[in-house]
């Protein structure tokens, strides 16, 4: 067992949700991936993040993914399970069930069809945090979310005793610094693949939750270690090489890229879930070449 599974920091890969030809979750593939990522030194695992295609999975499939991840982790690293819904009641039910499965934390994601005001957005995240006894990471991604969290909402949520982290997937690093300045004593910041992780670590971030870490886990852990050691020249040299992967992922569907990369590395994760499309041969070659270049 690790010393404190409620202390989240470092590299948390957003896991893919492997499927077979019939669309069933390939728990054996997911288990192998989790074991290999832990062996590579990652600090935690996040099932049902964006790369996990949570928006394309049914309720039972989500449960299978979370259970399989927790079983594969075997307490070696914390598992922070993604909870996402347009319904507060459904999100609360997900969070409660994942805690019962043994999740160490919840990544709370708001889906929205109709626009919501700040009070409703805040109440959604508070309801999730009120429903569990484990730490909650609030997630914000203005590129995909219809209703984003303002800095004022973030600051108020930071006062909740179980809302201890935020994973921000905006491309605005200044926003991260604003969050750290306003909530640094109460809310720790995780970056996403949309940010430059080394830059986020420099301004006070505690790590990153991102899909690309699935395909370059050792390099990602090395980058984190260099940042923690304040060896910034070496960190930025490594960051420069890794950033080429992020640039490619930004051009294509992220889940398709990560699944293609894992397939190239020998994991039978399947194609992205419909209606998403897999990478074509030329796009797949781009990913393969980049993975070879970064080692």
β-pairing verdict for 10-13 and 207-210? parallel
- Single out the residue of 97, 48, 103 nearest to residue 75, CA to CA: 103
Residues 6+ apart with CB under 8 A from 26: 18, 19, 20, 268, 269, 270
Residue 139 is a catalytic residue:
yes
14, 98, 139, 165: the active-site residue: 139
Distances (CA, A) of 163 to 10, 159, 226: 18, 7, 28
Residues 6+ apart with CB under 8 A from 188: 8, 9, 164, 165, 166, 205, 206
- Single out the residue of 195, 194, 249 nearest to residue 227, CA to CA: 195
Instruction: Report d(CA 114, CA 139) in Å as an integer.
Output: 19
Residue 165 is a catalytic residue:
no
3-state secondary structure 70-90: HHHHCCCCCEEEEEEECCHHH
Instruction: Report d(CA 41, CA 220) in Å as an integer.
Output: 9
167, 224, 259, 267: the active-site residue: 167
Which residues are tagged catalytic?
139, 167
């Amino acid at each position: 067992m690790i010393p404190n599974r409620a202390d989240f920091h470092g590299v948390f890969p957003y896991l893919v949700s492997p499927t077979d030809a019939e669309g069933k979750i390939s728990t054996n593939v997911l288990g192998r991936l989790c074991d290999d990522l832990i062996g590579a030194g990652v600090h935690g695992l996040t099932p049902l993040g964006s790369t996990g295609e949570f928006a394309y999975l049914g309720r039972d499939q989500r449960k299978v993914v979370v259970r399989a991840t927790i079983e594969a982790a075997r307490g070696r690293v914390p598992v922070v399970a993604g909870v996402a819904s347009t319904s507060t009641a459904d999100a609360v039910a997900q969070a409660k069930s994942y805690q019962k499965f043994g999740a160490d934390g919840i990544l709370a994601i708001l889906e929205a069809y109709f626009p919501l005001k700040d009070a409703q957005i805040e109440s959604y995240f508070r309801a999730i945090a009120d429903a569990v006894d484990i730490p909650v990471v609030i997630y914000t991604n203005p590129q995909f979310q219809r209703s984003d969290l303002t800095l004022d909402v973030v600051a108020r949520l930071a006062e909740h005793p179980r809302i201890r982290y935020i994973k921000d997937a905006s491309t605005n690093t200044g926003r991260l610094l604003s969050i750290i300045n306003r909530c640094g004593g109460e809310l720790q910041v995780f970056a996403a693949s949309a940010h430059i992780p080394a830059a986020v670590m420099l301004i006070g971030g505690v790590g990153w939750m991102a899909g690309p870490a699935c395909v370059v886990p050792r390099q990602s852990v090395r980058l984190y270690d260099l940042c923690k050691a304040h060896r910034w020249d070496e960190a930025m040299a490594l960051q420069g090489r890794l950033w080429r992967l992020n640039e490619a992922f930004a051009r294509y569907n992220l889940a398709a890229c990560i699944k293609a990369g894992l397939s190239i590395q020998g994991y039978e994760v399947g194609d992205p879930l419909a209606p998403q499309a897999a990478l074509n041969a030329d796009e797949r070659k781009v990913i393969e070449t980049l993975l070879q270049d970064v080692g």
